[in-house]
């Protein structure tokens, strides 16, 4: 039976891949969306930087605003979708204007939320307007709704996962095809899987933004990037991937946040994932998030982390929720009740670590390395020295027993200062099978 409710009129800022995908999805599934939302959802006005750009969609039916901020003031716009991007600038101005006008905001902008999430959540609650951001983390995977609603009755011990599809694509191809990092990156850029400037992805920044949002939802704390240690995958070599495989692991860029009392232990770092762990089988551009609750146990969310279709799907899911009248705080806990946490430094983190060094192939070097580990209080579980290279260096790979991260990092710093060490060492944590 047709709904008697008035349509939800949407102002859409940003007509890139995702914005165009939202328009296509709403057109293709209009009847389905209306049935599930209880009312039609219609885009009435749009804004983008370049009005004349060819996007493969007909914009004739929509009012155009050169200034995206004007969308918030339009009488024929009930809700604004922000797909402009960027932590500050026009996106933040639009977000503030929309919530300031008492209108709901749907955004895919993880950078803006990671930097300004508390401010925007406070604005939204003060205005009685919804702030939704399902598309900001893991594309089409409904992980935000899963944590905010499905796991709301649980105390979560940790949340972690593979949060950047570009890095996962690169590491997966390195393993599958025996290619070095630089070669896969260049090919990924040529195919459009990686940006011309890939630093946002491969240096872990994108994953850190997403992890900050997941931690806020999981632990009732404001998003805070300063609590996270962030490393990318630039230093990962094919030799590391092969050594990990020999040990029964896969290399993945893992973002992990864990609450330790009044502190947050959070890091984005290339890690060795046991083959028995569900993250080890997540390959290519897929994303995956694991949450561990006290009553629900382990939850696993896997799916497409980017792309026009999956991300547009997440945006429209938020539109449907708002059309239904679903409400609630942006970060599950009311903004005023979000509790800031301190950073749990490396001294509070323990684990086993993979250590790779390339050293001069001469007598006594291995003894120097093991002596540094001994003096740092780090014991060795295994040590492997593959065949020496033609350049007079040798690869040395070690796995430590459980130790404090500070001890392992202190040992690495001392090793890096040795004249016999030919390149910066690489330290990667081993993810436990059960955690």
Active-site residues, by number, are: 210
Report the C-alpha gap between 111 and 304 in whole angstroms: 19
Report the C-alpha gap between 16 and 82 in whole angstroms: 11
Report the C-alpha gap between 180 and 171 in whole angstroms: 9
**36 Cβ contact partners less than 8 Å away, ≥ 6 residues apart:** 320
**304 Cβ contact partners less than 8 Å away, ≥ 6 residues apart:** 139, 140, 141, 165, 285, 286, 287, 310
SS3 content of the chain, % helix, strand, coil (to 5): 40, 25, 35
Q: Is the dihedral of CA 259, 265, 266, 267 positive or negative?
A: negative
CA-to-CA dists, residue 18 to 15, 41, 82, 93, 107, angstroms: 7, 17, 11, 20, 11
For the residues of 199-252, what is the DSSP string, one character each?
A: HHHHTSHHHHHHHHHHHHHHHT----GGGEEE--STT--HHHHHHHHHHTEEEE
Neighbours of 154 (CB within 10 A): 17
Strand bridging mode 297-304 / 286-293: antiparallel
Q: Which of 106, 85, 78 is nearest to 17 (CA)?
A: 85
Report the C-alpha gap between 221 and 241 in whole angstroms: 35
Report the C-alpha gap between 102 and 125 in whole angstroms: 9
State the DSSP H helix or E strand holding residue 24, giving kind and residue range, or none if neither. Answer: helix 17-28
For residue 189, the Cα-to-chain-centroid distance in whole angstroms is 20
Q: Which of 250, 297, 256, 320 is nearest to 278 (CA)?
A: 250
Strand bridging mode 426-429 / 353-360: antiparallel
Q: Which two tokens stand for residue 65?
A: 């605003």
Q: Which of 79, 4, 94 is nearest to 42 (CA)?
A: 79
């Amino acid at each position: 039976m047709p709904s008697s409710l008035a349509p939800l009129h949407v102002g859409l800022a940003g007509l890139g891949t995702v914005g165009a995908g939202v328009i296509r999805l709403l057109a293709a599934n209009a009847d389905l969306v209306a049935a599930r939302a209880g009312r039609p959802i219609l885009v009435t006005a749009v804004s983008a930087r370049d009005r004349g750009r060819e996007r493969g969609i007909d914009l004739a039916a929509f009012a155009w605003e050169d200034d995206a901020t004007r969308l918030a003031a339009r009488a024929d716009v009930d809700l604004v979708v922000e797909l402009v991007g960027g932590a500050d600038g026009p996106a933040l101005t639009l977000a503030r204007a929309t919530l300031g006008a008492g209108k709901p905001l749907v955004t895919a902008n993880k950078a803006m939320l990671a930097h300004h999430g508390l401010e925007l959540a406070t604005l939204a609650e003060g205005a009685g307007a919804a702030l939704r951001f399902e598309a900001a983390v893991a594309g089409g995977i409904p992980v935000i709704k899963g944590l905010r609603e499905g796991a709301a009755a649980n105390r979560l011990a940790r949340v972690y996962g593979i949060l950047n599809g570009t890095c996962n694509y690169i590491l997966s191809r390195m393993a599958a095809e025996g290619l070095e990092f630089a070669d896969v990156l260049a090919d990924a850029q040529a195919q459009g899987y990686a940006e011309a400037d890939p630093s946002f992805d491969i240096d872990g920044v994108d994953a850190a933004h997403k992890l900050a949002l997941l931690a806020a939802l999981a632990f009732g704390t404001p998003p805070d990037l300063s609590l996270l240690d962030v490393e990318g995958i630039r230093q990962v070599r094919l030799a590391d991937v092969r050594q990990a495989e020999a040990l029964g692991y896969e290399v993945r860029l893992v973002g992990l946040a864990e609450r330790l009392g009044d502190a947050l232990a959070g890091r984005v770092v290339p890690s060795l994932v046991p083959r028995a762990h569900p993250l080890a089988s997540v390959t290519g551009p897929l994303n995956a998030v694991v949450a561990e609750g006290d009553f629900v146990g382990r939850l696993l969310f896997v799916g497409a982390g980017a792309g026009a279709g999956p991300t547009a799907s997440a945006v429209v899911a938020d539109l449907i929720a708002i059309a239904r009248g679903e409400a609630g705080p942006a970060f599950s806990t009311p903004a005023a009740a979000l509790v800031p946490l301190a950073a749990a430094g490396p001294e509070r983190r323990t684990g086993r670590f993979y250590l790779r060094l390339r050293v001069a192939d001469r007598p006594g070097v291995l003894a120097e390395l093991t002596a540094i580990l001994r003096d740092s209080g780090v014991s060795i579980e295994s040590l492997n020295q593959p065949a020496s290279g033609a350049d007079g260096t040798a690869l040395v790979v070690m796995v430590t027993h459980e130790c404090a991260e500070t001890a392992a990092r202190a040992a690495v710093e001392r090793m890096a200062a040795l004249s016999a060490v030919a390149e910066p060492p690489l330290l990667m944590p081993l993810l436990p099978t059960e955690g």
